[in-house]
Amino acid sequence: MKRHEAREVAFIIIFEKGFQELTSVEDLIAAAAESEFFEVNTFVTNTLHMVYDHLDGIDQTINDNLVGWSAKRISRVARAVLRLAVAEILFSDVPDGVAINEAVEITKKYSAQDEASYINGVLGTIARSKATT
């Protein structure tokens, strides 16, 4: 499985977790692995743990950078994409540009074009502020 495909699987599981707050990440990974729709590999598992090990900080970073929008206004798709991309920007060796581009592509596939543009802007701001700290 290519990294893009693995990232998309991670996004889908993060999105799913948004509907099942009480379900553990391990249970969602196990369910995804059992299904015939997803392949769960080490990259997916590590990415999910990275997101949920740092979720409070990731959500705070997202909320701090939502210009003109409130956290309640962003869609579940946007929230899942942002969580994935912010985790990669802050806690992985994935280049910021790659994380942003992948997030935009996933958003275009699962949401509206205007949301992709907004996500690009939010993530660009986060990446630039990380670079200055």
d(CA 77, CA 71): 13
pLDDT value for 127: 95
pLDDT digits (tens, 9 = 90+) for 9-65: 999 999 988 888 767 888 888 888 888 788 889 999 999 999 999 999 999 999 999
DSSP string, 58-99: HHHHHHHT-SS--TTTS-HHHHHHHHHHHHHHHHSSS-HHHH
The fold of the 3-131 domain, in CATH, is N-utilizing Substance Protein B Homolog; Chain A (1.10.940)
pLDDT digits (tens, 9 = 90+) for 70-79: 777 889 999 9
Instruction: Identify the helix (H) or strand (E) that includes residue 7.
Output: helix 3-17
Kindly tell me if the per-residue pLDDT of 133 is higher than 70.
Answer: no
Tell me the pTM: 0.92
Stretch among 40-44, 67-71, 79-83, 115-119 having the lowest mean pLDDT: 67-71
d(CA 70, CA 74): 7
